[in-house]
Chain A
Amino acid sequence: MSFVTANWNPLGEAFYRKIELYDMCWDLKDALRDCLLAAAPYGGPIALLRNPHRRSPSSRPQLEIYSASGVAIASFPWKSGPVVHLGWTVTDELLCIQEDGSVLIYDMFGSFKRHFSMGQEVVQSQVLEAKVFHSPYGTGIAIVTGSSRFTLATNIDELKLRRLPEVPVLQGKPSCWVVLTQDRQTKVLLSNGPELYILDNTSCTAVSPPGLSPQAGSIVHMSVSFSYKYLALFTDTGHLWTGSSQLQDKLSEIDTKKSLPPKQMVWCRRPKSQQPSVVLMWDRLLMVAGCLLVGELDGVRIISSTSQELLQEVPLVCQDIFKIASMAPGALLLEAHREYEVRTLPEGDQGAKHGETTLIWHIAASFGKCFLTDFSPDQFVSTCRELRVLNAVRESSVGLPLTHAQFKQMTLQVLIDRLVYRQFYPLAIEICRYLKIPDYQGVSRVLKHWASCKVQQKDLSDEAIAQAVCVKVGDSPGVSYSHIAAKAYECGRTELAIKLLDFEPRPPPVCQAGDITPLTSCVSVYTVVTYLKNEMNRGDFFMTLRNQPVALCLYRQFCKLQEQETLKDLYNQDDDHQELANYYVAASYREKRLDSRLSLLQGAVDEYNKAKNEFAVKATEDEMRLLRFQRKLDDEKGAGLLGLSLQATMEALLALGLHKQAEQLYRDFRVPDKRYWWLKLKSLAEKEEWEELEKFSKSKKSPIGYLPFVEVCMKSNNKYEARKYVSKVTPEQKVRAHLAISDLEGAADAAIERKNESDVGAVLARCAGVCRDTSDM
């Protein structure tokens, strides 16, 4: 294990190392030489199109897709037009750009997804070269046509073609070009001989890289870094210029003494590294012929017909630990651990067996951890777990070679998505469980994808699939059978969809087809209703409900709480004017503004009219009249009456001393005399306006008699006033009146006068009460 540094090569101040990732599983021999190649970054799949230019119909070119480790995924003969360029999108979809400007999209299993065109004029002028690029907006395509015009699409998922302005001097294709994404703008940098131009949406500007010696010659190759920050230019005299892609700073200029332009030139740098560098590849010179460089976030993958290697700058921490005579804490720790093991575990440690540098590290770290009491182990544990996951997905059969930095950039979610996409379901689930992701984000999601994919398998019987889905998915949270069933339904497997829906108590999708028979057999009407609501068109839905009274009741209930508007439609459809009117009345309470409230009430009046409910019409009209009246008074006197009932309004008016207005309401609304008298009586007594009360009592004959006057006065403990009314009380109530003012003698007299047994009894009962009270004292 002291050979960790054996494959390190110093370059400048940094070390570079080359790690062998895979012995490629494919059997290609020299085939990489004359074929179109594309490998997706982040350990994505590799596509190759053999002999793209052979056009005879008898031997069609073969399109092959491999995983990063060279495991064949798909292979099919290319039947469409000649392909100019292959590329991968960020979601691992293969883009095949054809000469006529049409772009075909395949998924990584080689099944056709869709296609689009890069513009009509391209059909004529043909695509000369194309490039696929990635930006924060997604995956984009740039082409240059035979008429030397550039066309860009920044995001193929939201296709918007931009035709860039003409480059004045350009004939045919430029000697080299790249796509840059800067300041939220996508531009094209191109060279025509020694001149360099930047092409953006509106203009074409000539630029010159700072510090590039004039005798350097014309630019024949250029490359931009993964992050679009750095640019490398190669001239026909063998000069290599590197600098910022803004073309403001120069990093270096080197004379490579090679006059041949390199076949491929890729940046190799680590994020935050001080020393960016460029890898150049010449045919037959630097490396094995016919291989592919894939720029990654933190290195370059070199794919050849036999093997795949990762070239990267050695991360600083590693350098610290493994550099000769390093005194960094990490190195010391490792050394200490080694010593410790020599003494205690002579047979060697786990790490050595695995030959995994990372593992040694972590064993050392865990060893070190024991001596650090105040260091939270969380980070250590999570890093360990992540590294194990990365080792798992790097397995040749899976073929996702990712570095830790790439993993961090891409996030776990995406990694799981990619695994799911590649149909490594068990592995994805294992990872979710291992990293303890919440079920609804992890396992459930994987299961959902799995099930959706499973139902599309044509070779299995409905029964078998349904069973398999049920066993696997069970009742994991967040997995909706209806979603899976919908997928099945999409594939035309209605029977299967029904079977699946049986697992979830949701109605069969037969309902989707407008068949209402299952309604009766379904367990939960509510479910059916909610489901149908979303699936059927509204008219049909309401018609269906009409025949299902129970369901209708439930749905109304639901609407009252959730969708008031729907309720209205429902009543409308049934011509249920009464309910519709009630709906308007209810809605009017919720309305704050008077105008809208009035208009709603008017609606109610119309409906009540249609329902021939005259009483309700009258009541509603009265309410509207009252509201207007209240509004007027509120404006005039600031009485704050709006929304009160008639009774409450009159009460408030009397309390405010607005007798005239109260009187007006009493007349306008034909309030029963009795009620008005009670109201006024109570109000006056409450305000203790005794004179006013007396006047009122004399205004005309009281419709409620005079006993209430006595009682009301007594309620305010005013015996004096109460006495005034006793004489006016009718003979039948006289006894009660006397009793009310505790005039027992008077009561007795009245009772005797009336010769009424029960009255005498009442007086006697009171007398007894008084006697007891006095005796108690």
Chain B
Amino acid sequence: MAHSGRRDSPELPDFSLLKRLARDQLIYLLEQQHEVDKLYKVEYKPVFSTSDQLCFLIRPRIQAVKWIYVANADKAAGKFRRYKIIFTPQKFYACEAVLEEQGIFGDVTTDEWAFYLLPLDDDIISLELPEFFRDNFLAGDQRWVRTAGSALHLLHSLYGPFSKIYGIGRCSKMAYESWREQVEEGEQRSRQAEIGKVFLIDRDVDFVTPLCSQVVYEGLVDDIFRIKCGCVEFGPDVTSSDKGIKVMLNSQDKVFHEIRNEHFSNVFGFLSQKARNLQAAYDKRRGMDIKQMKTFVSEELKGLKQEHRLLSLHIGASESIMKKKTKQDFQELLKTEHSLLEGFEIRECFSFIEEHINRQVSMIESLRLLCLLSITENGESSLFKCCVKNSYGVDHLLTFANLRQLGLLVEQQPGETLTVMESKVGKLVNDKTAGKLTDAFSSLAKKSNFRALSRKLNLVPKSDEEYDLRVPRDMAYIFSGAYIPLSCKLVEQVLERDGWTGLEEVTRLLNGHEFSVTGKTTNSSAKNDGQRIILVMFLGGCTFSEISALRFLGRERGYKFIIVTTAITNSSRLMEALLENRV
């Protein structure tokens, strides 16, 4: 079932170099501290240690720095130790200012560990900065932009030079500029490019895609079990034993590698086929003579055993997902989402969401649906208001403010005039007809960017044809054929056109900030394999579904995509990042 793709697809560069570089630097930094005695997690509590020097390895966040108050406690206790704070990937002056304010700046030495990129898989590199999204898009704090630029610079200096850079979004543009500056500062080396083109995209260009429920296997696993740093913890219900298990999910896992990009409806069929194959392989040993048996045991059995283990694990996971997702609720949820994306039967969607809120199933889910409704229908507020007022507490007034700021949940502007009209009409006719009229009015009033974009880019395939999920024909398969993710579609279009020409209308709808720059390539042999390796950088996170879609695109077009993201995200993470909790 795994798609063979085109024969000539290029080889991916080796990213383990990134890990090695980072590790070496950390070792170098720690060696200056002599031996490391013990590792602690930085928390808001004192560190009990007899060593006379402490070394902290933290993200440059004010919160984290505030936790390092041990030095102060030591000072009060008249103890003198050496303190070192290693900020990764870089230090910020605000953190040092906090140290200064606490009066321990002089006692502490600081260092930077330039660990920008963590390769999660052959083609996924993460900055592991989930805070990027909130800090940058909500708080308007641009400090991470330079971090993104530096990450790009690192990739450029190791695998570049890039022949072409495209991008869309404010943050992308700034990250590009920051990278440009760093390139100009540094020296240029001419070498064989391993990465040809780069595409930068802001998360706020496309909020719709991450808000949708994921139905591709890897995405589903992330939605349900939460993949952290390429590692997932399966509970006892998956392992069918009394202990949970931590598993690395990447292309090393042969079973996972073959199903990760599949629509969930295909996964079971594939897994049972696999199980049969496995059984057949085991069965081979029947009727073997001793010598054959010996080779079988020494050569094949270990591989089979491992495959067996992985297979049973993924079958367990799939069963657990089935249990949770094949209920009627989930089907209706998907139906609602698809209706919203298509823009049909909005009334039904509305009442479904209302019921969802009324039943208090899950606040995050409700918020997600509301946002999806708001974006696709260009504004919504009445439901949210009742949501805030009665269900989730007044503190979500602030959440509301956050969502509004990002444009995820906007109050309907023309709605006011609409109600005025409605009340006027309502006086004339009876209730029933008024309801119908309202519907008519609302469909007139709603002029959504998403709708326009969807039409322009053909994001929603025609629904009258049957979509065979086994043989996907476009990227829409990742959402059961209902929707082609906007972000991936943009990538496709821009690569096809080699720039933004012809997409002027689209970029206007996306608020502009698009760019496309031709790099200074010394050997412009466009034919070399590297030119078909394309780095897509998501600023603010990307979902596994998008990655699957891009992998699909790559197979179709003979590209190889490398996804660089500030973090892997999904709908719940997106929502949680914007919550304003009573903490």
Contact = CB atoms under 8 A, between A and B. Distances in A.
Nearest to A445: B106
Contacts of B390: 646-647, 669, 671-672, 675
B358 A586 contact: no
B143 A674 contact: no
Contacts of A644: 393
A530 B389 contact: no
Given A562-B62, A622-B394, A679-B360, A586 B580 contact: yes
Given A550-B142, A561-B63, A615-B385, A505 B93 contact: yes
Given A526-B93, A643-B582, A647-B392, 10 more contacts: A524-B93, A527-B93, A585-B394, A585-B397, A619-B388, A644-B393, A647-B390, A672-B386, A674-B358, A678-B360
B140 A562 contact: no
17 contacts: A553-B141, A554-B94, A554-B143, A557-B135, A557-B139, A558-B94, A561-B62, A585-B395, A615-B385, A619-B385, A619-B389, A620-B397, A645-B394, A647-B360, A647-B390, A669-B390, A678-B358
A672 B355 CA distance: 11
B92 A526 contact: yes
Contacts of A589: 395, 582-583
A616 B389 CA distance: 9
Contacts of A643: 582
A526 B360 CA distance: 42
A708 B139 CA distance: 42
A704 interface: yes
A360 B261 CA distance: 83
Interface centre among B359, B385, B583 (most CB of A within 10 A): B359
B82 interface: yes
Contacts of B391: 645-647, 675
A675 B353 CA distance: 12
B354 A674 contact: yes
Interface centre among A578, A623, A647 (most CB of B within 10 A): A647
Contacts of A91: none
A137 interface: no
A713 B388 CA distance: 29
Given A526-B143, A553-B139, A615-B385, A623 B394 contact: yes
Interface string B354-393: 1101111000000000000000000000000110111111
Interface in B117-146: 135, 139-143
A523 B97 CA distance: 16
Contact of B106 (A440, A530, A646, A674): A440
Contact of A558 (B62, B394, B397): B62
B398 A585 contact: yes
A645 B393 CA distance: 5
B107 interface: yes
Contacts of A562: 62, 98, 101
A348 interface: no
Name the 3 nearest CB pairs between A and B, nearest first.
Answer: A645-B393, A553-B140, A623-B394
Contacts of A678: 358-360
A478 interface: yes
Nearest to A553: B140
Nearest to B395: A589
A648 B140 CA distance: 34
A585 B135 CA distance: 21
B401 interface: yes
B109 interface: yes
B139 A582 contact: no
Contacts of A682: 359
A369 interface: no
B94 A530 contact: yes
Contact of B109 (A477, A549, A615, A679): A477
Interface in A642-658: 643-648
Contacts of B92: 526
Nearest to A621: B394
B82 A438 contact: yes
Interface string B67-109: 0000000000000001000000000111001100100001101
A54 interface: no
Interface in A603-660: 615-616, 618-620, 622-623, 643-648
A30 to B, nearest CB: 52
A99 B65 CA distance: 58
A348 to B, nearest CB: 42
B415 to A, nearest CB: 13
Nearest to B146: A524
A649 to B, nearest CB: 10
